[in-house]
Amino acid sequence: MTENKPLIDPWSSNNITDYEHIFKEFGLKPFNEEWKKDLNHILFRRNLVIAERDFIKVLVRIKAKKPFVNITGIASSGPLHFGHKVDIDLFRFFKERGGRNYFAVSDIDAYCSRDKILTMKQAKELAVNNLKHALALGLDEKDVYVQSRKEQRYYEFAFELSKKITNNEFEAVYGHVNLGKISAAILQYGDILHPQLSEFEGKMPSITGIGLDQDPHARVTRDVAQRLGYDIEVPSFIYFKHQSGLREGKKMSSSEPNTAIFLDDNLKEAEKKLMSAFTGGRNTLEEQKKLGGNPNICKVYEMLKFHYEDDKELGRIYSECRQGKWLCGECKKYCANFVIKFLEKHQKEAEKKQKTAEKIVYG
Amino acid sequence: MTENKPLIDPWSSNNITDYEHIFKEFGLKPFNEEWKKDLNHILFRRNLVIAERDFIKVLVRIKAKKPFVNITGIASSGPLHFGHKVDIDLFRFFKERGGRNYFAVSDIDAYCSRDKILTMKQAKELAVNNLKHALALGLDEKDVYVQSRKEQRYYEFAFELSKKITNNEFEAVYGHVNLGKISAAILQYGDILHPQLSEFEGKMPSITGIGLDQDPHARVTRDVAQRLGYDIEVPSFIYFKHQSGLREGKKMSSSEPNTAIFLDDNLKEAEKKLMSAFTGGRNTLEEQKKLGGNPNICKVYEMLKFHYEDDKELGRIYSECRQGKWLCGECKKYCANFVIKFLEKHQKEAEKKQKTAEKIVYG
């Protein structure tokens, strides 16, 4: 057995910093500045969407008010955190722009690809919890499907497309992985492509927003789409920056609880995590007043940048931080206040969604 | 990529001759002579069932008149031939002995594992044709399921069990194969194990009759059963000899039309194939009258041994051949007459089953 270490491992929790290298290596295009005018959402305005493959096909449909497939999903190995909110935000954005919506609760994927999820029962309990939060974030229950509760055609299609992937191609992308991860990947290709089957929407452009670390799946999905022998569009992808962890150099990850504020974190706990987050502050108060802070590396500023809707207020914070007028202590309190208010309201909403989530997952 | 050539390739059409070596290598047990008394069927009486794994568990159930799972299937890459009749015969035998019956029409498996089947459409057309013949051979339509038309639980289970197979184990058994074959294998493990889930029959011994070349699947299935975390019995297997091809040194194979008489062969064609089959005759008539023929290597005798029910008459043929009294010419005519009568009746029956087969495969 050879050890092929792939350049990007979609199952790891490492942070990806060397963007340009990856763009060049895998043929990703930086997201076109011009397009952002037509896409009025903070994720575009604030350069949190950074790259794309064939996005123009979807943009054309949006402008022409024609339908397109809007497909995403969550296969988290743990509870949802603020970083996951981006997936939901993008999904909602494309829904409002005319998408035909498919949101996968990826219980089989999570079970098959994650060592720490030991049984399907556990995967489904996690799915209920995650779905409850996703619904509270504004996901419409009508747009949701559960991998373990789909139509027969969906499964048949996943097995069917597996034939179109050679072992060499698969290993070049993922390295030498176990059969559970192969299953999970196959099902994920099926998730993205199945809405274009005649039994569902039929052929049309399709958009999925993913983190850069998920690009290996996107590449194989696009290759398979071209070889399947079905008349479908090669799916488009946009790539968002992952909200980085509250600690330096870490991605927000369900696998590492201290890196993230979870949507079901106790409010005190959430406040504590935020108050001890890594900032762009200077070593001394004096220095900071003189030189200003650095919001570009600050995890507190990043939280606001991803989730705080008011552009004007965010601009003020950025400038005043730069000028040394807005100091880390008050900024942290300000952000903690925002996060706690958000969580308080969110958690009430999530509790109301518990029964619905159970019904969707268990039937 | 390393090239691990497995000892047994379940997808090839080579004949397996070195039985003892394989028994020892993989821990198969020769079928117990004592048991045959309780199993009144030509496949046992005539030593065509040669080996087993854990058969005693099923035998105990048969004797106690308790139920057990009876599961088999056909994933042929082409039309059915006389060699396939053995699968049906064994399945019917275990049904009569109290089996809970699951006969898989393996359309997804056939598509995924066979290069020559290019689309699922083609796999389903083939499935209809094969099923029509299987029904005409006495398979009960109530016992049939189609892989592409199962309950959601069946597919979920197949994905689920994939997690329990390491890539190392898989490659040690099969070598380095493509994702289609991985999918097909996973689904096959699911076929054999799913009847024991609580949603189906629940835990009970299970029997599947296979050719020796299918033992790699049996080994992995048994290993997975033990690691799954479900309370199920490790499935039992019995191994039958494959009827060998009409030509010397070849297995009867859908992939090689001249090696086999197909169930939909034109009667003239079938007769011609049989009349030119390899026999155990001597070089000259004189020699044969003096030394006798050798039925043990004769393809004509083998056809009778597998399918001709009358033990006494078969015994006569064997003895008279040995004694040089029953010569190849008359024997071929005799056998051709049997085959043609069989086919004539069978093909009429198969035509009647066309509509039923279509309904089962397409719904």
List chain B domain ranges: 19-240, 257-362
CA quadruple B112, B113, B117, B122: dihedral positive or negative?
Answer: negative
Residue B121 CB neighbour total at 10 angstroms:
11
Q: Is B68 helix (H, G, I), strand (E, B) or coil?
A: strand
DSSP code, position A33: G
**B4 pLDDT exceeds 60?**
no
DSSP code, position A241: P
Q: Could you tell me if A350 and A136 are in contact, meaning their C-beta atoms sit under 8 angstroms apart?
A: yes
One-letter amino acid for residue A113 of the chain:
S
Q: What is the pLDDT of residue B17?
A: 56
Residues B39 and B335: their CA atoms lie apart, in Å, by 26
- Angle between helix axes B179-193 and B152-162 (nearest 10 degrees) is 120
DSSP A150-201: --HHHHHHHHHHHTT--HHHHHHHH-S--HHHHHHHHHHHHHHHGGGSTTTT
Which residues of chain A make contact with B3, given a CB cutoff of 8 A? Answer: none
A160 contacts B120? CB cut-off 8 A: yes
Alpha carbon of A180 to those of A45, A111, A112, A114: distances in Å? 39, 8, 5, 9
Mean of the pLDDT values across residues B79-92? Answer: 95
Distance from CA of A41 to the nearest CA of B (A): 37
B74 vs A: CB within 8 A: no
Tokens of B306: 């597998």
- A187, closest residue in chain B (CA to CA): B159
Helix (H) or strand (E) holding A30: strand A29-30
A149, A163, A180 ranked by CB distance to B163: nearest: A180
Q: Could you tell me if B175 and B5 are in contact, meaning their C-beta atoms sit under 8 angstroms apart?
A: yes
- B4, closest residue in chain A (CA to CA): A1
**B320 pLDDT exceeds 80?**
yes
Residues A171 and A234: their CA atoms lie apart, in Å, by 22
A229 contacts B119? CB cut-off 8 A: yes
Tokens of A97: 């722009």
> The pTM is what?
0.90
B2, B165, B178 ranked by CB distance to A179: nearest: B165
Q: What is the pLDDT of residue B256?
A: 78
Taking only Cα atoms into account, the Rg of chain A, rounded to an integer number of angstroms, comes to 21
B187 contacts A183? CB cut-off 8 A: no
Helix (H) or strand (E) holding A48: none
Mutate which: B183, B197, B227, vs A, most A CBs within 10 A: B183
For the stretch A265-273, contacts whose Cβ atoms lie closer than 8 Å and that sit 24 or more positions apart, written own/partner, are A265/A343, A267/A340, A267/A343, A267/A344, A270/A336, A270/A339, A270/A340, A270/A343, A271/A336, A271/A339, A271/A340, A273/A246
**Per-residue H/E/C for B52-66:** EECHHHHHHHHHCCC
Same fold for the pair B19-240 and B257-362: no
Q: What is the pLDDT of residue B165?
A: 94
Q: Is B5 helix (H, G, I), strand (E, B) or coil?
A: coil
Residues B195 and B182: their CA atoms lie apart, in Å, by 21
Q: What is the pLDDT of residue A5?
A: 44
A177 contacts B170? CB cut-off 8 A: no
Q: Could you tell me if B332 and B273 are in contact, meaning their C-beta atoms sit under 8 angstroms apart?
A: no
Q: What is the pLDDT of residue A286?
A: 94
Backbone angles phi, psi at B204, to 5 degrees: -170, 155
Alpha carbon of A345 to those of A28, A203, B111: distances in Å? 38, 40, 51
For the stretch B89-93, contacts whose Cβ atoms lie closer than 8 Å and that sit 24 or more positions apart, written own/partner, are B89/B41, B89/B43, B89/B137, B90/B43, B90/B49, B90/B209, B90/B238, B90/B240, B91/B139, B91/B143, B91/B209, B92/B138, B92/B139, B93/B39, B93/B41, B93/B43
Which residues of chain B make contact with A184, given a CB cutoff of 8 A? Answer: 159
Q: Could you tell me if B62 and B241 are in contact, meaning their C-beta atoms sit under 8 angstroms apart?
A: no
Which residues of chain B make contact with A148, given a CB cutoff of 8 A? Answer: 152, 156
Residues A23 and A54: their CA atoms lie apart, in Å, by 14
Mean of the pLDDT values across residues B104-131? Answer: 95
CATH of domain B19-240: 3.40.50.620
Residue A285 CB neighbour total at 10 angstroms:
13
One-letter amino acid for residue B188 of the chain:
Q
A98 vs B: CB within 8 A: no
A178 contacts B163? CB cut-off 8 A: yes
Q: Could you tell me if B16 and B212 are in contact, meaning their C-beta atoms sit under 8 angstroms apart?
A: yes
Q: Is A360 helix (H, G, I), strand (E, B) or coil?
A: helix
Q: Could you tell me if B335 and B307 are in contact, meaning their C-beta atoms sit under 8 angstroms apart?
A: no
- CB-based burial of residue A5 (10 Å sphere; 0-12 exposed, 13-18 middle, 19+ buried)? exposed
Q: Write the pLDDT tens digit of every residue in B145-189.
A: 999 999 999 999 999 999 999 988 999 999 888 999 999 999 999
Q: What is the pLDDT of residue B1?
A: 36
Which residues of chain A make contact with B112, given a CB cutoff of 8 A? Answer: 159-160, 162-163
CATH of domain B257-362: 1.10.240.10
Residue B152 CA from chain centroid, whole number: 27
B119, B162, B229 ranked by CB distance to A112: nearest: B162
Mutate which: A124, A150, A153, A159, vs B, most B CBs within 10 A: A159
The β-bridge relationship of strands A49-53 and A144-146 is unpaired
Q: What is the pLDDT of residue B251?
A: 80
Q: What is the pLDDT along chain A (363 residues), one digit of tens a residue?
A: 333 444 455 555 445 556 677 787 788 999 999 999 889 899 999 999 999 999 999 999 999 999 999 999 987 788 999 999 999 999 999 999 999 999 999 999 999 999 999 999 999 999 999 999 999 999 999 999 999 999 999 999 999 999 999 988 999 999 888 999 999 999 999 999 999 999 999 999 999 999 988 999 999 999 999 999 999 999 999 999 989 999 888 888 777 788 899 999 999 999 999 999 999 999 999 999 999 999 999 999 999 999 999 999 999 999 999 999 999 999 999 999 999 999 999 999 999 999 999 999 999
- CB-based burial of residue B233 (10 Å sphere; 0-12 exposed, 13-18 middle, 19+ buried)? middle
Tokens of B2: 């390393």
Identify the weakest region by mean pLDDT among A6-15, A43-52, B48-57, B191-200.
A6-15
Backbone angles phi, psi at A30, to 5 degrees: -60, 145
User: In terms of pLDDT, which residue wins out, B121 or B27?
Assistant: B121
Please, which pLDDT band fits residue B303 given cuts at 50, 70 and 90? very high
Angle at B108 between CA B103 and CA B110, to 5 degrees: 85
B1 contacts A160? CB cut-off 8 A: no
Angle at B197 between CA B191 and CA B199, to 5 degrees: 110
Q: What is the pLDDT of residue B38?
A: 86
B160 contacts A111? CB cut-off 8 A: yes
Identify the weakest region by mean pLDDT among B93-102, B217-226, B244-253.
B244-253
Residues B73 and A363: their CA atoms lie apart, in Å, by 31
Q: What is the pLDDT of residue B312?
A: 94
Q: What is the pLDDT of residue B2?
A: 38
DSSP code, position B163: T
| Closest to B123 (Cα-Cα) out of A229, A106, A305, A310 | A229
User: In terms of pLDDT, which residue wins out, A241 or B358?
Assistant: B358
Alpha carbon of B108 to those of A192, A199, A221, B77: distances in Å? 20, 18, 20, 11
Q: What is the pLDDT of residue A235?
A: 98
User: In terms of pLDDT, which residue wins out, A257 or B51?
Assistant: B51
**For A16, left (φ over 0), alpha (ψ -120 to 50), or beta?**
beta
Backbone angles phi, psi at B52, to 5 degrees: -160, 160
A166 vs B: CB within 8 A: yes
Residues A94 and A140: their CA atoms lie apart, in Å, by 13
Which residues of chain B make contact with A176, given a CB cutoff of 8 A? Answer: 167
Q: Is B77 helix (H, G, I), strand (E, B) or coil?
A: coil
Q: What is the pLDDT of residue B53?
A: 97
Q: What is the pLDDT of residue A254?
A: 72
**In percent, how much of chain B has pLDDT > 90?**
82
Q: What is the pLDDT of residue B74?
A: 86
B343 vs A: CB within 8 A: no
Distance from CA of B116 to the nearest CA of A (A): 12
B1, B150, B187 ranked by CB distance to A168: nearest: B1
Q: Could you tell me if A217 and A10 are in contact, meaning their C-beta atoms sit under 8 angstroms apart?
A: yes
Q: What is the pLDDT of residue A184?
A: 95
Mean of the pLDDT values across residues B272-276? Answer: 94
Alpha carbon of B248 to those of A143, A289, B37, B258, B350: distances in Å? 61, 93, 33, 11, 30
User: In terms of pLDDT, which residue wins out, B286 or B213?
Assistant: B286
Mutate which: B148, B152, B163, vs A, most A CBs within 10 A: B163
Contacts of B348 (CB under 8 A, 6+ apart): none
| Closest to A239 (Cα-Cα) out of A72, A105, A78, A61 | A72
Q: What is the pLDDT of residue A142?
A: 98
